[in-house]
Structures are given as C-alpha cells and as structure tokens.
A and B are shown apart, each in its own frame.
Chain A
Amino acid sequence: MPWVIAIMVALTVIAAAGGLAMHNLAMEAKNELSGGATVQIVEPSPTERNRQAEAAEILLAQHPAVASLRRVPDAELDRLLEPWLGAGTDGESIPVPALIDLRLRTEATEAELDSMRRLVSAEAPAARIDAQSSWLKPVFSAITSLQWLAIALVVLLGLTSAAAVWLASRSALGANRNTIEVVHLLGGTDSQIARIFQRSIALDATLGGTVGLLLGVGAVMMLGNQFSGLDSGMIAGGGLAGADWLVLAAIPLAGVVIAILTARLTVMTALRRML
C-alpha cells in the first residue's frame, strides 16, 4: 500500500509541476507581450526600406500610446536569421524586413494599432504593425490545453489513489472480519472500528506520500535542469516559484486526507451492513 501511494503521489507531483510550469510560462509570456507591438517594413529596396523605417520611427515616437521604441539593428537581425539563412547575407540578395520594437503604455489593442497604422501609412506604406501577443496565440492556446491536461491528470491520479485505498480497505476488512465482529459485539462503535483502519491507512499514506514527494520533486528538479540547459528565453519563464513548491508539498497532505476519508467511508459503509 505505501508503495502504491508513493507512485501515485510522485506522478501527481510531476503532473502538477508540469501544469504549474505551463501556467507560469503563459503568464510571463502574456505579461511580456501584452504591451508590445512590432513594426515590419516589408520593402525589397534597402534604401527605401531604411527611409520608411526612419520615418516610421519619428512618427510613432510621437504617438501617445507609445512608451518607447527601438529599431532592431541589422546586425542583430542577421544574428537571429543566421541559423536559417547562414552567415554573410546582405539586405539585397535576401530582403529582410526592417523591424521596430514598440513598448506601449497599455495593452496593445486593435484600436491603438489601427491608429498607428493610419499615422504611418503615408510616410511608410510598407509598414505592417502587429501586436506581439497575436503571433503567440496558437502557442497560448496549446499551453492552455496542456494546463487542462495537467489538471485532468492530477484529478485522475487522485481518483486512482482513492480507488487504491478503497481496495486496500476492503481487503483489510475481509482479512480482519473476525476481529471487527468481535470488537463490534463487545460494544465497539462504527467510528471506533473505522478509526483503527484510518490510523493504519494514514500511516501508510504518510510514508508513501513522503517517499512519493521526494521522488516527484527529484524528477521535477531533474527536468528543470534539463530545460534550463536549453537556454531558451520562453522555457526559462516556465520555472516554479516559491508558492508552486508549497502547492507540490501539499500534494502528499491531500493524499493522506483522501486516503483517510476513503478508508472511513469504505469501512463505515461495510459496517452498516452489520447489525
């Protein structure tokens, strides 16, 4: 029994940690991107592209919603594209749009973006202005699905743990039927008899929960190290905060409570069939 609970708790800790990391990742990305917008100047001629980019920079700096802006230097763009296009590309052979990174004072709403588009349309007709968050909508949607999957896994594992305790309690009831009958006939109440089982199951659940927590946290830390080694800005945002670790630490406690309640319910139901 303790080993079953240990495995259940370890799996629950891993699933919950995954869900929490996804949540953190989504929140951090949303916070970072919600006030951001990107201007692309999609123009094949490098000279015209540069002219429109400079004009857009000047105009957008005057827009009341813009807190700050930064033209992404060509060298930085080249570095970003190097894995796909190789080193030493120039702006003529492969036209790469000029990029301006905007920080807005508030969330990038469609109305604000339209206002900016109107402002630059005359001087920079090749400018395309998009909210940064819109690019990541499918990613956020996938992250939300993964979060729900994690929640479903946690619930399923909780139910499986309860089922395991139910089976263990029924088995213990069968094995100790004679003892239960004797205590019952000596005047023992259902609660007294149930308490004996609760105590036994609580001990098993505490032992199993502790081992499971250690195994689960060990696995989560190992995975965390692996992901942090990827050196990806987005994944780095998916770490666990202090409160998240507290949530994980509460899982074995919840396991003990579920085990005790399940054992009590099982035993009390069985005892009610006796006179």
Chain B
Amino acid sequence: MKNVETEVVTFNNVGLRYGTDREVLSDVSFTLYPGSFYFLTGASGAGKTSLLKLLYLAQRPSRGMISMFGTDVITLPRARLPAFRRRLGVVFQDFRLVPHLSAFDNVALPLRVSGVREADLRKPVADMLEWVGLSHRADAQPATLSGGEQQRVAIARAVIARPDMLVADEPTGNVDPEMALKLLRLFEALNRLGTTVVVATHDVHLLRKVPESLIMRLDKGRLSDPTGALRYPPRREIMPRDDDGIEF
C-alpha cells in the first residue's frame, strides 16, 4: 500500500480533449515521487505541453483523477488552487514574462504573490539573477532581452520560491550548450534539496546529462515507460543510450 504523503502527483486514467476534438491525452496513469527527476519526451504533438498544463493546474482533465500532494485537485474548490500553485515552479515554453516588469520584478513575482516582504526578497532575487548570469540586466525589460536571457529569467522565476515541484517545458531550447548545462545543474541542485523536477524536452543529449533521471515518453497522447519511471518503486538505474533502441 502506497503512502499518499510520499507521492507528489498521481494521475489515474486521465484523458484530455479540447472541445469535441479527439483526446490529446488518453488513459494516462503515473505517480511522481518527491525528490525525483523526470524527463518527459515525445514527438511534437504527442501531448507533452497538455500533460504539463495538467501538472501545473492550468487545465482540468476531461476524465480521470489527479491528486497532488495527497489532495484530489479535480474536485478541489477553485479558491484553494492558488495555494497548490504556489508550491509549483513553472518554466513556460514561451517564457511568459510580464512585459512591463523588469527582469528583477519578474523573478520577484512568485515571492510577492506569496506575500514575502520587499526587504526579504531583494537578496534572494539578486542572488538568483547572479546565478543565471543576469545581474547586469536586472533592470532590463523583457523586450530588450535576448531569447536566451528571457529563458534564464523565466527559469529564475520558476525556482526562486524553492517549489516542491518544478515543471519545465523545453527550458534549454534557446540557450547555448554551456548555459543549458548550467541550468540543468541548477535543476539538479534544486532536485537534491527535495524538489521534484519534470522537464519536457526534445534534446536527447540532455537526458544523458542527468544520470539519476527517469523518463516518461508520450506517443500520440499515451504514456510509455522506457526507464521504469512509472513503476513502483521507480527503477532509477536505467538511462537511455544510443543503442537502447529508444526513439526520441
């Protein structure tokens, strides 16, 4: 018998369709555990972004059950969802930075939303900007930042509040390999502190950079389990290699 308190997220036969179209996700069932590092892979249109939307509570499924931190979030009153969202960090594929706020204010946003005092947020935000190499652009507005810089601001914003779960949609798509590796190390550091990390990516090379990671693969809206990520207890030792026959 599994202890629900040890589970971060559980999907049970989840299906999702937009309007009257066919389902973009079908019979998706899995459990994410605290402190685990997951890669979500799959071809374009496989349903990765839709699955992530369910994970960061931007969407309700058409069917099935989702529980998060031991609570059924499908039947949860709408007014209680913000408290759950504050436990998540999200890196959106299109960054979604607030255009009229500076890089500093964008990174500070989750802390301000959580009610952290101005005096208490200055140092952590400055440190985070330094970590992603953007101290010198703290006052810059998103429109004046390059794609890579915007992505780093988006990542800094996602991790600043030390979330229980980090959900990242193609977080290294616009940065050079060196910065991609650095950001991945940031995710790993966060993961070691207990944050569950879910990264959706096309980048096969990225998967090999995190030996402890588990892989979930989506194919036409259905989930497969090449590394045993979905088994209980999860199998951690298998990592994909070129000759594993796993197609990404």
List residues of A whose CB falls within 8 A of some B CB. Answer: 178-179, 181-190, 192, 272, 275
Q: Does B58 contact A (CB under 8 A)?
A: yes
A187 x B96 contact (CB < 8 A)? no
B85 x A179 contact (CB < 8 A)? no
B82 x A188 contact (CB < 8 A)? yes
CB distance from B80 to the nearest CB of A (A): 10
Chain B CB within 10 Å, residue with most, of A183, A186, A187, A190: A186
Using an 8 Å CB-CB cutoff, how does the interface string of B56-91 with A read, 1 for contact, 0 for none?
111110000000000000000011011111101010
Chain B residue, CB-CB nearest to A271: B78
Return chain A residues, CB-CB under 8 Å to B78. Answer: 272, 275
Partner of A188, one of B59, B88, B99, B113: B113
Which residues, 78 to 130 on B, are CB-close (under 8 Å) to A? 78-79, 81-86, 88, 90, 96-100, 109-110, 113-114
* Cross-chain pairs A/B with CB under 8 angstroms, 27 sampled: A178-B96, A178-B99, A181-B96, A182-B97, A182-B98, A182-B109, A183-B113, A185-B56, A185-B57, A185-B90, A186-B85, A186-B86, A186-B110, A186-B113, A187-B82, A187-B83, A187-B84, A187-B88, A187-B110, A187-B113, A187-B114, A188-B113, A189-B82, A190-B79, A275-B58, A275-B78, A275-B81
List residues of B whose CB falls within 8 A of some A CB. Answer: 56-60, 78-79, 81-86, 88, 90, 96-100, 109-110, 113-114, 157
Return chain A residues, CB-CB under 8 Å to B60. Answer: 275
Question: Cα distance A265–B147 when bound, in Å?
Answer: 37
CB distance from B41 to the nearest CB of A (A): 23
B109 x A183 contact (CB < 8 A)? yes
A186 x B109 contact (CB < 8 A)? yes
Majority secondary structure of chain A interface residues (helix, strand, loop or mixed): helix
CB distance from B154 to the nearest CB of A (A): 10
B57 x A275 contact (CB < 8 A)? yes
Return chain B residues, CB-CB under 8 Å to A178. Answer: 96, 98-99
Question: Cα distance A186–B86 when bound, in Å?
Answer: 6
CB distance from A86 to the nearest CB of B (A): 77
Chain B residue, CB-CB nearest to A178: B96
CB distance from A7 to the nearest CB of B (A): 28
Question: Cα distance A179–B98 when bound, in Å?
Answer: 5
CB distance from B68 to the nearest CB of A (A): 13
Known: A178-B96, A179-B99, A182-B96. A187 touches B58 (CB 8 A): no
Return chain A residues, CB-CB under 8 Å to B58. Answer: 185, 275
CB distance from B14 to the nearest CB of A (A): 15
CB distance from B204 to the nearest CB of A (A): 29
Return chain A residues, CB-CB under 8 Å to B97. Answer: 182
Question: Cα distance A192–B56 when bound, in Å?
Answer: 19
Chain A residue, CB-CB nearest to B114: A187
Return chain A residues, CB-CB under 8 Å to B98. Answer: 178-179, 182-183
Question: Cα distance A186–B154 when bound, in Å?
Answer: 12
B85 x A187 contact (CB < 8 A)? yes
Return chain A residues, CB-CB under 8 Å to B82. Answer: 187-189
Chain B residue, CB-CB nearest to A193: B113
Return chain B residues, CB-CB under 8 Å to A272. Answer: 78
Question: Cα distance A275–B79 when bound, in Å?
Answer: 10
CB distance from B96 to the nearest CB of A (A): 5
Return chain A residues, CB-CB under 8 Å to B56. Answer: 185
B85 x A275 contact (CB < 8 A)? no
Return chain B residues, CB-CB under 8 Å to A187. Answer: 82-86, 88, 110, 113-114
Chain A residue, CB-CB nearest to B88: A187
Question: Cα distance A190–B80 when bound, in Å?
Answer: 11
Chain B CB within 10 Å, residue with most, of A178, A185, A275: A185
CB distance from B241 to the nearest CB of A (A): 36
Return chain A residues, CB-CB under 8 Å to B83. Answer: 187
Question: Cα distance A181–B97 when bound, in Å?
Answer: 11
Question: Cα distance A187–B85 when bound, in Å?
Answer: 5
Return chain A residues, CB-CB under 8 Å to B57. Answer: 185, 275
